[in-house]
Amino acid sequence: MDFDGEFSQNEYLEVVEEAKYIAPEASGLKLCKKGRFPRKNSFERSSEDTSKFTLRLQSGDYDGADYTSEEARNSVFSSTKFINFTKQRAELRHCRNIAHGKTYTLDFDIKISHFSAGSIFQIHAGGSQGSANLTAYQDAIRLIAGQEFNNVAVYRGDWLNEWLSFRIVFRADRADKTFFRFYVNGEETFTTEGRNASYTYSKKGANLSFGLYRGKNPNSAEASYRNIKLSKGDLGQP
Confidence of residue 175 (pLDDT cuts 50, 70, 90): confident
Confidence of residue 82 (pLDDT cuts 50, 70, 90): very low
Q: What is the pLDDT of residues 182-215, one digit of tens each?
A: 999 999 999 999 888 777 888 888 889 999 887 6
Rounded to 10°, the helix 70-80/9-16 angle is 70
Residue percentage of the chain with pLDDT more than 70: 72
Q: Is the pLDDT of residue 107 over 80?
A: yes
Q: Give the C-alpha distances (Å, rounded to integers) separating 115 from 35, 72, 157, 190.
A: 21, 32, 12, 20
Query: What domains are there in the chain, each with its CATH number?
Result: 19-62+88-232 (2.60.120.200)
pLDDT, position 9: 55
What average pLDDT does range 8-36 have in this prediction? 69
Confidence of residue 81 (pLDDT cuts 50, 70, 90): very low
pLDDT, position 141: 94
Average pLDDT across the chain, whole number: 80
pLDDT, position 50: 95
pLDDT, position 22: 78
Q: What is the pLDDT of residues 131-174, one digit of tens each?
A: 899 998 888 999 988 777 888 999 998 889 999 999 999 999 98
